[in-house]
Amino acid sequence: MKKGLAILVSIICLALLAGSFTSVAAADKVRGVTDTEIIIGQWGPQTGPAALWGSVARGSGVYFDMINAEGGINGRKIKYVLRDDAYQPAKTKAIAKEFVEDIGVFGVACGVGTSPGMAVRDYLMENKVPWVGPATGSRHWTEPFQKYLFALYPRYADEAYLLTQYAVEKLNKKKIGFFYQNDDYGKEGMEGAKKYLDKKGIKLAAEVPVEVTDTDLKSHALKLKESGADAVIMWVLPKHAATILGQAKAAGFQPQWIASSTLSDAPLMHKLTKGLWEGVIYANFLDIDSPKVKKYLEAQKKFAPNEQNTGVFFLAGFMFVEPLVEGLRRAGKDLNPETFVKAMETIKNWNDWLGHDCTFTAQDHQGMRSIFLSKCGPEGKAEKIADWMTYKEGK
Amino acid sequence: MNFFFDLVIGGLSIGACYALVALAMVIIYKTSEVPNFAQGEMAMISTFIAFTLMSNYGAGFWTSAGITLLFALALGVVLEVAFLRPAKDPSILGLIVITLGAEMILYGLAGWKWGANQVPFPVPFSEYSGISPGGVMITEINIWTFVTSLVLMLLLFLFFRFTKLGVAMKAVQQNHFAAKAMGIPTRRVLSFTWGLSSVTGAVAGMLIAPISTLDPNMMLDPMMKGFAGAVLGGMTSLPGAALGGYLLGLIENFFGGYVSLEFKSVVAFGVIVLILCVKPSGLFVRHFERKV
């Protein structure tokens, strides 16, 4: 009996020893990187209620195709793996597991949605998977600090701060109403607005929440009207933005509407609201007038000629991976998660992309804090009304 | 005071839509005791048909609406024949699950055919202007909603009261076997019930789409609210369900206006629970002993 136990213990020890040897051997080889390839994964809703934003992931695909056609990065080509999570965090989790354990990706790009992203953030970080540019402005990407996570989308709170500041200081609005989706997305926006107003000693004239499933917004519109707000900031879904504009107009309430960057696809919003979007001021994180846009759309004609949605969200798919590719370039031939993070942290005030002033430091991985403002003109044409403005902590 | 009357108008106009959905539910429930959970998706698909006719084929609104109602009738009949009829020895629970399955299929179909994008639904009357007696705005779409729903309810009432088919439907719902023995083609009547319910739902869909947007999710909320309204008024009574729909619209709007917008949507479900505890057969129905 005792002998049997001893044999068992020694077998286990041997097995453990062997295991540690193999893991030492694996450490030499970097997951997702070979001499000729770098594997990058992305999830994005290609089906389901959020499929509209699925074009982000397809945009990234075209950008990688373009980079590969130009010769790749330090002799390596990008192998891009796109998976559909239908905006369901449970599916995102399964995809992340597949990325790490089956496919073995080097890093992850973008990924639409705060809750899908939050479902896998800790898992990816534990496995040291570099993740660049989650396609939402939640603060959870950089608070608390995550070594392998680089956020690009300006934070909702910062964006709302800047929009409110603009409404009060430039538009001379006295009473600001806030119409928000009753979850993290909407609430983070409202926090930013309050942060600015608190400094000025002003209170929001109205805080009107909307649930994702709500259809009838008449009482919401009446509440906003009751408050007498002369400007209303919206942090909602396109559908609710369209509905509230109609209901408010029917109630005879027409304040200056101000919208978050999630509603920055002006032609689309103009169409959806049957023209009511004209005159709405909204934030942008992506420079649609950049000369790069033309080049990117040519690449789209070449690599994805069947793409239907080539608007802001499609281009955002390019924008969110531009710094990723820059980081891979700067990391050089010796590429692993550590050298990549170091390389990313050398990016300072970098402007060779569709965004503005990309900066990462060893303490702060929020790469972009700038927005510019546009006003929707006739036929949904965007008119720039304020150039890039940057949120600075403690200003 | 205008705030109050604005809420009344808002409540009545969304209530009219809830009432139509509630009616659509009750028409089927009365004949087969099955709450049809595919109701919302059936209405959504029909509304998309109207949209496609207008945007892709350049048809006028009224032509499209007419064709859509015919389509809705066919859709209801086909669903009954294809999904419910093949069920062998169906229990009520089994049939409910079938309607849930049909709901998912229709939802998936709409997502595949028209995508998840929201689209505007054009109507030939204004969503923003209309008449304003005493400063209370009643838009053209509000008026159309009131008129259409009332006319449709009147038609349904006349149909059940004075037509042979309507009376046959009532007979089937009261005693299936006796109706069959009396020579009423009960199966055909049941299919037609589905068609009629589907048409009522399609009208609701075409009235809801212009005040919101058209997308595969659009009927999710109105359908639950219509269901709640039907439970509130009484699942076995057409006028009861309609009144329940209106009442729910008003309750919701007053709750949103005076108490809390956060819980506005939850009120409907609170109402269901309350009614099921206090008066399970519904507010406007005499206590109803279950058929043995």
Shortest Cα–Cα distance, A239 to chain B (Å): 6
Shortest Cα–Cα distance, A124 to chain B (Å): 29
Distance between CA B228 and CA B268 in Å, rounded? 6
Asked whether residue A145 carries a pLDDT value surpassing 50, the answer given is yes
Interfacial A residues in 264-303 facing B (CB < 8 Å) = 271-274
Shortest Cα–Cα distance, A53 to chain B (Å): 9
Mutate to test the interface with B, among A87, A214, A219, A310 (most CBs of B within 10 A): A219
Q: How far is CA B218 from the centre of its chain?
A: 13
Among A23-27, A86-90, A299-303, the minimum mean pLDDT is found in: A23-27
Distance between CA B104 and CA A222 in Å, rounded? 35
- φ/ψ region of A359 (left if φ > 0, alpha if ψ in -120 to 50, else beta) reads beta
- 3-state class percentages of chain A: helix first, strand second, coil last, to nearest 5: 45, 20, 35
Q: Average the pLDDT over A106-134 and give the result.
A: 94
Q: Average the pLDDT over A96-117 and give the result.
A: 93
Query: Quick check: bond before A267 cis, omega within 30?
Result: no
Distance between CA A181 and CA A209 in Å, rounded? 6
3-state class of A372 per DSSP? strand
The pLDDT of residue A49 is 66
Q: Which residues does chain B have with pLDDT short of 50?
A: 292
What's the residue count for chain A? Answer: 395
Asked whether residue A146 carries a pLDDT value surpassing 80, the answer given is yes
- A212 lies within 8 A of chain B by CB: no
Asked whether residue A354 carries a pLDDT value surpassing 80, the answer given is yes
B9, two tokens: 């108008």
CA distances from A227 to A182, B49, B189, B259, B279 (A): 19, 40, 54, 15, 39
Give yes or no for a contact between A108 and A80, defined as CB atoms under 8 angstroms apart.
no
Of the two residues A18 and A61, the one the predictor is more confident about is A61
Enumerate the residues of chain B whose CB falls inside 8 A of the CB of residue A214. 221, 264-265
Q: Minimal CA–CA distance to A187: which of A166, A214, A160?
A: A160
Predicted confidence band of residue A12 (pLDDT cuts 50, 70, 90): low
Distance between CA A6 and CA A80 in Å, rounded? 49
Share of chain A above pLDDT 90, in %: 75
The sign one gets for the Cα dihedral A169, A174, A180, A182 is: positive
DSSP-assigned letters across all residues of B158-223? HHHHH-HHHHHHHHHHH-HHHHHHTT--HHHHHHHHHHHHHHHHHHHHHHHGGGS-BSTTTTHHHH
Enumerate the residues of chain A whose CB falls inside 8 A of the CB of residue B265. 211, 213-214
Across the interface, whether the CB atoms of A222 and B6 are under 8 A apart is answered: yes
The pLDDT of residue A22 is 47
Out of A209, A226, A274, closest to residue B262 by CB:
A209
Residue A253: closest CA among chain B residues belongs to which residue? B128
The sign one gets for the Cα dihedral B30, B35, B36, B39 is: positive
pLDDT in tens, B165-218: 988 988 888 888 888 888 888 888 989 999 999 999 999 999 999 988 898 889
Strands lying side by side in the sheet with A231-235: A206-210, A176-181, A231-235, A256-259, A281-284, A370-376, A382-390
- B250 lies within 8 A of chain A by CB: no
Asked whether residue A24 carries a pLDDT value surpassing 50, the answer given is no
Mutate to test the interface with A, among B253, B264, B266, B267 (most CBs of A within 10 A): B264
The pLDDT of residue B36 is 92
Distance between CA B205 and CA A75 in Å, rounded? 57
The pLDDT of residue B112 is 84
B142, two tokens: 């509000």
Q: Average the pLDDT over A252-256 and give the result.
A: 93
Across the interface, whether the CB atoms of A51 and B115 are under 8 A apart is answered: yes
Asked whether residue A207 carries a pLDDT value surpassing 60, the answer given is yes
Across the interface, whether the CB atoms of B120 and A246 are under 8 A apart is answered: no
The pLDDT of residue A3 is 64
Q: Are strands A256-259 and A281-284 parallel, antiparallel or unpaired?
A: parallel
Half-sphere exposure of A391 (CA within 13 A, CB side): 27
pLDDT in tens, A315-338: 999 999 999 999 999 999 999 999
Residue A271: closest CA among chain B residues belongs to which residue? B120
The pLDDT of residue B241 is 92
Give yes or no for a contact between A52 and B116, defined as CB atoms under 8 angstroms apart.
yes
Shortest Cα–Cα distance, A102 to chain B (Å): 30
Q: Crossing angle for the helix pair B164-174 and B186-208, nearest 10 degrees?
A: 110
The pLDDT of residue A23 is 47
Residue A45: closest CA among chain B residues belongs to which residue? B116
Across the interface, whether the CB atoms of A239 and B139 are under 8 A apart is answered: no
The H-or-E segment that residue A60 falls in is helix A55-69
Cα end-to-end distance, chain B, whole Å: 52
Of the two residues B126 and A32, the one the predictor is more confident about is A32
Among A115-124, A152-161, B169-178, the minimum mean pLDDT is found in: B169-178
Give yes or no for a contact between A189 and A219, defined as CB atoms under 8 angstroms apart.
no
pLDDT in tens, A170-188: 999 999 999 999 888 899 9
The number of helix segments (H) and strand segments (E) in chain A equals 13, 12
The pLDDT of residue A51 is 76
The pLDDT of residue A10 is 62
Distance between CA B199 and CA B122 in Å, rounded? 20
3-state class of A171 per DSSP? coil
The pLDDT of residue B134 is 80
The pLDDT of residue A26 is 46
Across the interface, whether the CB atoms of A250 and B128 are under 8 A apart is answered: yes
Share of chain A above pLDDT 70, in %: 92
The pLDDT of residue A213 is 83
Predicted confidence band of residue A79 (pLDDT cuts 50, 70, 90): very high
Measured in degrees and rounded to the nearest 5, phi and psi for residue A372 equal -125, 165
The pLDDT of residue B69 is 96
B264, two tokens: 């506005």
Across the interface, whether the CB atoms of A49 and B216 are under 8 A apart is answered: yes
The size of the A-B interface in CB pairs under 8 A is 107
- A330 lies within 8 A of chain B by CB: no
Across the interface, whether the CB atoms of B257 and A211 are under 8 A apart is answered: no
Q: Minimal CA–CA distance to A111: which of A392, A101, A182, A91?
A: A91
- A220 lies within 8 A of chain B by CB: yes
- B234 lies within 8 A of chain A by CB: no
Q: Minimal CA–CA distance to B97: which of B83, B109, B107, B116?
A: B83
Exposed / middle / buried, residue A86 (Cβ in 10 Å: 0-12, 13-18, 19+)? buried
